[in-house]
Structure 1
Amino acid sequence: MFPDFNRWSLPLLILVIQGLVFVVLLLSRYFRKRQLSDLFLGLILLLTCYSQTCYTFGFTGWYDEFRTTKINYFLINTGVAIAPLIYLYIKSVTASNFKFKKSYWWHFALAFTFINYHLGIYIYDALQPGFENIQNGVLKIELDEAYIQSIVGYIETPFILVYLAFTFQLFYSYRKKIIQYFSNTYKLELNWILSFLILFSLLFLYGTIQDIIGSTYMDLGYEQRWWLNFLTAIITLYAGIKGYFTDTTKLNKLDFSFSPKTIGIPEETDKIDSKPYSESELESVTQLMEIEKAYLNPELNLSDLAKMAKLTRGQLSEVINSGFGKNFNDFVNEYRVEACKTMLKADKHQQLSLLGIAQECGFNSKATFNRVFKKLTNSSPTEYLKTQLN
């Protein structure tokens, strides 16, 4: 009976339909707002849904009902397109004022090569007598399945691996930038993107091991290979949901283009002959933090403090990195933690919760407060409070 909705076909079908719903939502928003991250994520979801068609249709009985279907000609290795799309998606979310350059089309050169190849063998086989009565023609069987699919596997694996490496590098570079720019980074850390990248990498590893086992040790059937498709659909749908409901437009408007001379902390300060800042600049920043308590603003960033100090962002970054020996994030949060400790010693926890105290001192989330407090005091806020009470 066709279609056969069973324990194999139904989960994939549901996930594909849900994925397509988010494809429509993301692409619709792209055409309204022209946010390239929506376009990239929508295409990632679309290609993932497309790659599930073989297994979804197969388990519904499509191949039994339509024995001359030509779907195999169009089951292209989507990984060579998905990997560059993930890279460009992360870049479009984390880069300042991201624009799609003509040179970026080269990322998809291999994908377009595969598409043209599949179209070529389909056109050739379609021109052969009796093609309408069979599922796969001569080139599909004697060229594609006999040789090309194996060769493509050797090309696709290192290709995806390289893109994963570049994508992780891009993401961690962004993480390094935000601690030089923001005092509260929790909402900007995009932990869900990191989770997605890790899960996608595990899927890639799973798929590679599966291919090795299937080609070397034993023949894996559709049911054994079903799990990879199922997990891929779930993980990509997770990224689609998070990407659609997370507002990343603020990040795209940021400008990380300033280049302070000293990004890191000098290891041997006694060897530095000339300071990259003046004593008056150091005093001005100190006054802003200790007297005017600029750190109490939870949205304080490098630009805000630079304006208050009448410095450029580059100059302020020099003062903080070289003068105080810290990055911007640690510099501001040390003042906040000290303010929290002062309030705890003054028994303010009897009127306010720990979160309330944290917010009074400039933190904007419990997660940031707990993490920063433990980093700077080697104890959690609760543990610190207990030591004060004792």
Structure 2
Amino acid sequence: MNDLITFLIYSGVTLTVLLILLLFNNRKQFSITVLIGILLSLLLLFLTYGASYLENTIVSFLIVPLGSVAPYALGPLLFNYVKSVYNQKVTLKELVQNLVPFFISLLLFSIPQYFTQAFSNNTLHNNLHLVSFIIPFIGFGYFIYYVIRSTKLLKRYRISLKEQYSYLKNIDLKWFSIWVYGCVTFVIIDVISGGILFIFPSLKFVLALNLIYLTALIWYMGYYGLQQTPIFLFQENIAVEATTSEKTIQEKVTPKIEDTSDLKDKLEALFQTSQLYQQQNLSLREVAELLNITDKKLSTYINTHLNLSFYEYVNSYRIKHFKKSIRNGAAKELTLLALAFDAGFNSKATFNRVFKKQEGSTPLQFKKEVEKGLMSSNESI
């Protein structure tokens, strides 16, 4: 058992360093830089748990003071990662400002520990040793605070996505939400294992749960983070400014009545003749350029006058196209999924969810109803 956990520790560290190096070679985007910071923070936590299990004095001396304050960095990094993916204006200065609590804890706790650990009988060292049990709990609380902020921010961005894109696959950071819930679970596991170790200090094998789970979190984050690309959202500034001057902004972006009198006809004609909805990655900006208007104006028109998001508007055409294909008998030669992709959907789950919401039945049920109706009409003839 000990050999297995030791192997897990060394392989986990090696693979995490490899992930960081891969990201470092591809750090053109600021979000990648933030992701490297996240993985470094997770690596510090991993080494801290590993050192506690192996009882390695040298590693403990070097890592534990940093690992104890790593949650103070991890929380703000997660928050800024979400921002940097959707808003390319996030700067290093802004990130550093959010990391001030981490630098303070580093200055007041971690650095002094390096000078006092060598003197085990030193009163200051003993006091710091006691504080070291408190620091992680405060840090994890601070981390949870930023997890909540990150979740709320991501929710707001997802609303903006539906205003500007006709698809959500690979751009809604669903994987990040799953990872965040995984982090909360890790905190719970850590509290439980910490309680067990406090009562039964000899049961150090429970740290293996932390190590295994933390390894999974690191690789999940690294795998999806490598594939994630920045997403343009023009409404970010509007969303921020709306808290201070909502009325002024509404006046700026809301089209005048005379400007939108024929926009509905032009928009419908564009979709019906060009069948733009069949483009799986269609965006609001592309449609706005074809109509020779601003994306903000088009978004406001669809929201205000049609009471729909751009995502809902485009998918309504896709559903109509799919239903027409079924009625024309296309399902005899192609699968339902193939017909959905032909209509413009790029995800089976999204197609089923949108169809169910709009029609109140599943695509398969609709197909059977159409076939049943055709059979009935043939029999009557």
Aligned to 1:20: 17
Q: Deviations over 1:222-281 (max 9, x none)?
A: 22233123211211221112211x1414x1x5533574999xxxxxxxxxxx96963212
Pair 287,181 (structure 1): closer, same or farther in 2 beyond 3 Å: same
Structure 1 residue 211 displacement after superposition: 4.2
Aligned to 2:217: 235
CA contact (8 A) 1:125 1:139 kept: no
Match of 1:52 among 34, 41, 46: 46
Pair 101,328 (structure 1): closer, same or farther in 2 beyond 3 Å: same
Give percent identity, aligned residues only: 22
CA contact (8 A) 1:203 1:228 kept: yes
CA contact (8 A) 2:76 2:146 kept: yes
| 1:8 maps to 2:2 | no
Match of 1:102 among 84, 93, 98: 93
Pair 47,140 (structure 1): closer, same or farther in 2 beyond 3 Å: farther
CA contact (8 A) 2:61 2:114 kept: no
CA distance in 2, matches of 1:178, 1:186: 11
CA distance in 1, matches of 2:201, 2:55: 21
CA contact (8 A) 1:80 1:160 kept: yes
Higher helix share: 2
Aligned to 2:105: 114
CA distance in 2, matches of 1:171, 1:68: 36
Aligned to 1:265: none
CA contact (8 A) 1:374 1:381 kept: yes
CA contact (8 A) 1:296 1:362 kept: yes
Amino acid in structure 2 at the alignment position of 1:172: K
Aligned to 1:329: 311
Aligned to 2:270: 288
Match of 2:30 among 29, 36, 41: 36
Structure 1 residue 9 displacement after superposition: 1.5
Secondary structure at 2:308 match in 1: coil
Tell me the TM-score normalised to structure 2 length.
0.83
Match of 1:142 among 126, 130, 146: 126
Secondary structure at 1:279 match in 2: coil
Pair 55,361 (structure 1): closer, same or farther in 2 beyond 3 Å: closer
Secondary structure at 1:241 match in 2: helix
Amino acid in structure 2 at the alignment position of 1:169: K
Aligned to 1:369: 351
Structure 1 residue 335 displacement after superposition: 0.9
| 1:352 maps to 2:334 | yes
CA contact (8 A) 1:340 1:357 kept: yes
Structure 1 residue 182 displacement after superposition: 0.7
Structure 1 residue 79 displacement after superposition: 1.0
Amino acid in structure 1 at the alignment position of 2:166: S
CA contact (8 A) 2:44 2:66 kept: no
Aligned to 1:189: 172
Q: Output the aligned Cα RMSD.
A: 3.0
Which segments of 5 or more consecutive residues in structure 2 lack a partner in the other structure? 243-255, 373-381
Q: Deviations over 1:1-29 (max 9, x none)?
A: xxx96122212221121111101111222
CA contact (8 A) 2:51 2:59 kept: no
CA contact (8 A) 1:277 1:319 kept: no
- Residues 239-278 of structure 1: pairs in structure 2 closer than 5 A: 239-244=221-226, 246-249=227-230, 251=231, 253-257=232-236, 259=238, 278=260
CA distance in 1, matches of 2:104, 2:290: 55
Tell me the TM-score normalised to structure 1 length.
0.81
Amino acid in structure 2 at the alignment position of 1:375: K
Q: What is the aligned residue count?
A: 357
